[in-house]
Structure 1
Amino acid sequence: MRRFWLPLLAAVSLTSTPALAAPDQITERDGSAFSLTADWSLDARAAALTTELGTRRPVSEVLNAANRSTNSCSESRKQAQPEYYDRTDIPLPADKILRSSARFCWDDGDSLVSYWVPQGVSGSSDADDDELWGSDRVLLVAWYHDKGKAGTHESHGVRISFVDRNTGKYRHVLLAEPTSNTNFKPVPIHAGGMAWLGRYLYMADTSRGIRVFDMERILEVSTARDDVMGLSGGSYYAYGYRYVLPQVASYKQSIVPASPCLPQANALCFSSLALDRSTAPDTLVVGEYRDGRSTDPAVEGGRVVHYPVDASTRKLTLSGGKAVPRTAVTIPKTNVQGVQTWNGRYYLGRSSADKHSFMFSGGVGAAMTTYSWAVGGEDLYYEHGSGLVWTATEHAFNGSGTQIDKRVVFGVPLNTMG
């Protein structure tokens, strides 16, 4: 297995004063307030649960038990891709229309369900140098549960679709937070971004920081009941799902912003996650969604922060018990749902409700280039072998509740984005 080592993005001064971003430029900023405290206390509970259940299953077994199939996409779903860009209010020249070179869609039940919504994207190219987990090529997509639309008393949390890229089949796995050595509960977060680093799956927790799950401790539970999560009557359940993925750790910021997450000078909104393998060492990239600009330089623009990753453990590198940002920047664009960086360049995927949006590309201090992007594009994931940047689109319905059927998962060549 090989490594790709290139110089790390230029580090920013942790004592610099924030400056207002130029209208179309990424600017360096102070990242000292965004250090995270590591907490691995749930690891012992997850280990105890693994022993208690005695049903530990590898990723390969989850894939072999896949019970749903992707498909080649209806015409409606294809229309969400950037090559179908149809906005006349903001026209783009032909050379700025991106084109996908790989795609798949969900089965109809998942593509049209209102209360499970696709968000984070990652895969085995993040997980290991050879882009495989064992012998499997895997793509992961996180979905959050909307209890209001589902009509349930509590959120069912987050499910992860394990997609076998060889067969096109997939299975959902539910995230679980251990509450003791013998029980667990759902994880009710937005799941806007994730990255798979070795045995660990990192998941954005919008106001709090990052949660970490153990891909080598997937547990099988009973599917006999779909109305309960955890231990009940001597058996374990997960709302009818066959597998749960237990949380083992978190990286927490010291200040928790109000919900929904509001901009603060000393706290981030963790909206997306990506792994940058072009830096030395690898870095975990946190992107921040904002729906507006500000004249306050302390909170202006979404921030993007890089945290160094330990090459041997695949945990975040610590200094004094904290994960300290290696770089931090302010981005000049709003509504950015996905951020990926590679070789010092930033790729910012903007979202939209029912129209095509934009992919912005550029380096620090340089003007950004605008390309076409998806309808409702979410988190970004770079598959370094194929050279594709993947995203999942989220919208089955628009804001007024009308079905638009625009869910698709697709990849665009990175080298066509500048």
Structure 2
Amino acid sequence: MKHRGRHRRRRRGAALRAFLTGTALALTAAATLISASQADVTDSPGALKPLSSPADTAPLRLQERLVPARTLDRLSAAMGRPVGVDAVVANADRAMRASADCSAADRASLPVTPSVARAYCWDTADSAGSDWRPASVTTSGDADDDGVWGSHRVVLAGWTHSTTAGRAAERGLARVAFVDADDPGRLAYRWVLLVVPVDGGRDYRGLSSAVSGMVWYQGKLLVTTRTGSADALYVYDVDRIQRTNVDGPAIGRVPGGWSADGYRYVMPAVGSYRFTGGRCARSGPPCPGALAVDRGTVPDSLVAAEWTEPDGARNARLWRYAFSTAPGRGGLLGTDTAGRVQPEEAYRTRAAGIRGVLSYREPGADDTSWYMGRLPGSRDGHGGLWRQDVAGSSAARCGADGSHRCWAQSTGSLSYWQETGEVWSLSDHMLFVLPLAELDRSVG
């Protein structure tokens, strides 16, 4: 298995970085609220074990399945001309609040260590209940190396609805908040519902799956699926967002037009990737969980962590796929002539309950570091933050007794914005950002 180790020079936005540093917040008050006596994320995952035999890598092989162009064209012909990201953020209808205006309970969900630079809570219309939960984040810094898509800096946050609570029509659905992040002091967002074309593009249904991982690369949005589908990843095109024209509870074609349970915008899937070995299983393909982009490899790559229970006996696998460099395949994974995707590298870790993953290699370093946000076995309270490589592992520590339960509650996904040198993530209640250097220092 070829390891792609050559790295690109990182671009820096000096003026933007200086502004962000000047407005950084000291958000460490949650340190007094953590229960350091619980030590169920303290077990070291040790060193990464490379997986290179065919028996180990074959379960990670994917098969690409693209939606026929005629299906997508039929849907857009019926719904109207698709719109892009700029149109969605220009119609942002919900404002995010800066940390100082958020509740104490919201702020308590933030990491204790490392220190957060900026944090935001959601509009009260979205944060008041517990039926919808944020789980994944990606940015225009993933999509393009200059950090701008169209005319905006944008953050995407994936939310999943509970399968047991709330209105039956909403259960299990997935939606994405398109956040206008041009002004770090004033973030606003608009919802887009994820859907899947059916009946040859004559209709669509909601995507019924937990979206635990999400990556925006070039014009495509890749999201993980774990329930209700044999597909490992669904693919969306951010230039194929469709407007609805009927405000009702149904999802799909209705008398008078198109509805999406009250959402103004839907994004239809344009493809998917399925494990060639079948559905995720204990002895076969993994259940995909956290995702991230690594712009330090050539070509850029998609990194993934296996979804495992935090208190289970199953340890996780970490792996990566190369993005395609072929003309007309921007944002898709690299395939062979049969549409199969092979992993570029893979590892076994002794960690479980990974909900955030990031891979990064410092210029001049010999090995790539893998950062992991892990849930506590109890699932309650703060999780752990670890850095791991083939030589060993280390964790962020906090409190008088050096507890490892220092990371955010629910340990959301990690997204590195190369141009600013910052990492974006999510807690139970908040969206937050911190410098990669601070994250790295905390696990040193």
1:263 to 270, 278, 282: 282
1:202 to 209, 222, 232: 222
Distance (Å, rounded) in 1 between the aligned partners of 2:265 and 2:381: 36
> Are positions 1:282 and 2:304 aligned together?
no
Distance (Å, rounded) in 1 between the aligned partners of 2:151 and 2:169: 41
Structure 2 equivalent of residue 245 of structure 1? 267
Distance (Å, rounded) in 2 between the aligned partners of 1:213 and 1:334: 29
**Alpha-carbon displacement from aligned partner over 1:106-142 (angstroms, at most 9, x marks no partner):** 0112112221111111010011121110120000011
The 5 A counterparts of 1:97-116 are 97-116=113-132
User: 2:45–2:349: 8 Å Cα contact kept in structure 1?
Assistant: no
1:334 Cα deviation from its structure 2 partner: 1.4
**Alpha-carbon displacement from aligned partner over 1:144-175 (angstroms, at most 9, x marks no partner):** 12242113156362110000012411010001
Q: From the superposition, tell whether residues 370 and 293 of structure 1 become closer, same or farther in structure 2 (CA, over 3 Å).
A: farther
1:210 Cα deviation from its structure 2 partner: 0.7
1:234 Cα deviation from its structure 2 partner: 3.4
Q: From the superposition, tell whether residues 23 and 203 of structure 1 become closer, same or farther in structure 2 (CA, over 3 Å).
A: closer
The 5 A counterparts of 1:255-404 are 255-257=277-279, 262-264=281-283, 266-291=284-309, 292=311, 294=313, 301-311=315-325, 313-319=330-336, 320-343=338-361, 344-352=368-376, 353-371=379-397, 372-394=406-428
Q: From the superposition, tell whether residues 216 and 374 of structure 1 become closer, same or farther in structure 2 (CA, over 3 Å).
A: same
Q: From the superposition, tell whether residues 43 and 249 of structure 1 become closer, same or farther in structure 2 (CA, over 3 Å).
A: farther
Distance (Å, rounded) in 1 between the aligned partners of 2:82 and 2:169: 30
> Are positions 1:129 and 2:145 aligned together?
yes
The 5 A counterparts of 1:46-125 are 46-72=72-98, 73-83=102-112, 97-125=113-141
Count of residues paired in the alignment: 367
Distance (Å, rounded) in 2 between the aligned partners of 1:375 and 1:149: 21
Structure 2 equivalent of residue 411 of structure 1? 433
Structure 2 equivalent of residue 171 of structure 1? 190
One-letter amino acid of the structure 2 residue matched with residue 356 of structure 1: H
**Alpha-carbon displacement from aligned partner over 1:347-384 (angstroms, at most 9, x marks no partner):** 00012433111110122232333442111121111111
User: 2:46–2:388: 8 Å Cα contact kept in structure 1?
Assistant: no
One-letter amino acid of the structure 2 residue matched with residue 345 of structure 1: S
Distance (Å, rounded) in 2 between the aligned partners of 1:385 and 1:37: 32
> Are positions 1:192 and 2:206 aligned together?
no
**Structure 1: where are the runs of 5+ without partners?**
9-20, 84-96, 295-299, 395-406
1:177 Cα deviation from its structure 2 partner: 0.3
SS of residue in 1 equivalent to 2:383: strand
One-letter amino acid of the structure 2 residue matched with residue 171 of structure 1: R
One-letter amino acid of the structure 1 residue matched with residue 96 of structure 2: T
One-letter amino acid of the structure 2 residue matched with residue 315 of structure 1: L
**Alpha-carbon displacement from aligned partner over 1:309-338 (angstroms, at most 9, x marks no partner):** 023522100124201000001122111101
User: 2:286–2:307: 8 Å Cα contact kept in structure 1?
Assistant: no
SS of residue in 1 equivalent to 2:119: strand
Structure 1 equivalent of residue 239 of structure 2? 216
Q: From the superposition, tell whether residues 315 and 23 of structure 1 become closer, same or farther in structure 2 (CA, over 3 Å).
A: closer
1:62 Cα deviation from its structure 2 partner: 0.7
Distance (Å, rounded) in 2 between the aligned partners of 1:235 and 1:23: 53
Distance (Å, rounded) in 1 between the aligned partners of 2:420 and 2:287: 31
User: 1:223–1:241: 8 Å Cα contact kept in structure 2?
Assistant: no
User: 1:338–1:348: 8 Å Cα contact kept in structure 2?
Assistant: yes
User: 1:122–1:141: 8 Å Cα contact kept in structure 2?
Assistant: yes
One-letter amino acid of the structure 1 residue matched with residue 305 of structure 2: G
The sequence identity of aligned pairs, in percent, is: 28
**Structure 2: where are the runs of 5+ without partners?**
8-42, 362-367, 398-405
Distance (Å, rounded) in 1 between the aligned partners of 2:425 and 2:282: 25
User: 1:42–1:247: 8 Å Cα contact kept in structure 2?
Assistant: no
Distance (Å, rounded) in 2 between the aligned partners of 1:108 and 1:392: 17
SS of residue in 1 equivalent to 2:165: helix
Distance (Å, rounded) in 1 between the aligned partners of 2:82 and 2:339: 30
SS of residue in 2 equivalent to 1:410: strand
Distance (Å, rounded) in 2 between the aligned partners of 1:337 and 1:42: 33
CA RMSD of aligned residues (A): 2.0
1:6 Cα deviation from its structure 2 partner: 5.5
User: 2:59–2:277: 8 Å Cα contact kept in structure 1?
Assistant: no
1:43 Cα deviation from its structure 2 partner: 4.3
SS of residue in 2 equivalent to 1:57: coil
SS of residue in 1 equivalent to 2:176: strand
1:196 Cα deviation from its structure 2 partner: 0.4
User: 1:147–1:153: 8 Å Cα contact kept in structure 2?
Assistant: no
1:248 Cα deviation from its structure 2 partner: 0.4
1:192 Cα deviation from its structure 2 partner: 0.2
Structure 2 equivalent of residue 44 of structure 1? 70
Q: From the superposition, tell whether residues 28 and 57 of structure 1 become closer, same or farther in structure 2 (CA, over 3 Å).
A: same
**Alpha-carbon displacement from aligned partner over 1:70-126 (angstroms, at most 9, x marks no partner):** 00122221111112xxxxxxxxxxxxx311112111011211222111111101001
One-letter amino acid of the structure 2 residue matched with residue 80 of structure 1: S
Distance (Å, rounded) in 1 between the aligned partners of 2:104 and 2:166: 27
SS of residue in 1 equivalent to 2:133: strand
SS of residue in 2 equivalent to 1:50: helix
> Are positions 1:34 and 2:52 aligned together?
no
Distance (Å, rounded) in 2 between the aligned partners of 1:113 and 1:42: 38
TM-score under structure 2 normalisation?
A: 0.78
